[in-house]
Amino acid sequence: MIKIMIVEDEVGLVTLLKYNLEKQGYETNVVMDGKDVMREALLEKPDLILLDWMLPNVQGIDLCREIRKTYELRNTPLIMLTARGDEADKVRGLSYGADDYMTKPFSVPELMARIVALLRRSQPVSTQENLSFADITMDFSKRRVTRGDRHVHLGPTEFRLLQFLMEKPGHVLSRESLLKSVWGGAIHVELRTVDVHIRRLRRALNEGGEADIIRTVRSAGYALEVSSDEPAEEYED
Ligand code: CA
């Protein structure tokens, strides 16, 4: 059974989420206080975490960062629930390691669709054991990425993005096609979300000071290429 941890302090919303998730056949476990989250998550090992931004004692955003730094939890799919509509806050949420976010008030069917999509992209789809490009290797059985001798820590979304790029090295993949492949076609996600996750993927791949192998092709998309000496371009929109 797929276990979803609901981290939320609004009783009404907890009831609504618990009811709808259990109706879909998920097992749930509820945590209402920020200070209990890490202990409960390590104990329960949920398959996905719904994490409220504003919580008593510890902020959701700090928990998000903490979860991504914790070895046993760092691959756990995570959706941030936020009451703040501010774009910057959303992107900030994503750059701290959330895989998706919902702004309150949100529609329950939309959240359910996003949960399904996120759980799906957390499962590697490759039938191959390994994919290699330049000094990067993806091992699907161990769900492990290495660059040279270095272990690269990737969240589920970055893992899938890298997989699609590695399956077509040298090809320019549009943001639309990456969105469709990685997030699934059925849900509405802004194109700039792709850029946020590409930025995270790049940061993780280049953490050891290695050359950038993801080329940004302005107004076209992204491609995996052995680096020239040109500095990496980024979308500024
Ligand atoms: Ca709250």
* CA of residue 193 to ligand 1 center, whole Å: 24
pLDDT digits (tens, 9 = 90+) for 169-178: 888 999 988 9
pLDDT digits (tens, 9 = 90+) for 47-92: 999 999 889 999 888 999 899 889 889 889 999 888 866 655 665 6
**pLDDT of 191:** 85
* CA of residue 36 to ligand 1 center, whole Å: 14
* CA of residue 197 to ligand 1 center, whole Å: 26
User: Confidence band (pLDDT; 50, 70, 90) for 235?
Assistant: very low
| Kind of pairing between the strands at 214-217 and 221-224 | antiparallel
**pLDDT of 31:** 97
* CA of residue 163 to ligand 1 center, whole Å: 35
Mean pLDDT over each residue of the chain, to the nearest integer:
86
Residue 230 has pLDDT above 60, yes or no: no
Where along the chain do its domains lie? 3-121, 130-235
* CA of residue 209 to ligand 1 center, whole Å: 39
* CA of residue 32 to ligand 1 center, whole Å: 9
**pLDDT of 61:** 86
* CA of residue 208 to ligand 1 center, whole Å: 37
User: Confidence band (pLDDT; 50, 70, 90) for 28?
Assistant: very high
CATH superfamily label, 3-121:
Response regulator (3.40.50.2300)
> Residue 11: helix, strand or coil by DSSP?
helix
* CA of residue 152 to ligand 1 center, whole Å: 33
* CA of residue 231 to ligand 1 center, whole Å: 41
**Percent of the chain surpassing pLDDT 90:** 52
- Assess whether the region 3-121 and the region 130-235 belong to the same CATH fold: no
* CA of residue 41 to ligand 1 center, whole Å: 18
Q: Where are the alpha helices (DSSP H) in 4-131?
A: 11-23, 37-44, 60-69, 87-95, 108-121
Task: Give the fold, CATH level 3, of 130-235.
Answer: Arc Repressor Mutant, subunit A (1.10.10)
Q: Name residues whose C-beta falls within 8 Å of residue 23's C-beta, 6 or more positions apart in sequence.
A: none
Cα–Cα distance for residue pair 93/79, rounded to 1 Å: 10
Cα–Cα distance for residue pair 133/184, rounded to 1 Å: 25
* CA of residue 55 to ligand 1 center, whole Å: 5
* CA of residue 84 to ligand 1 center, whole Å: 11
Q: What is the CA angle 167-173-174, rounded to 5?
A: 150
pTM of the model: 0.67
* CA of residue 137 to ligand 1 center, whole Å: 40
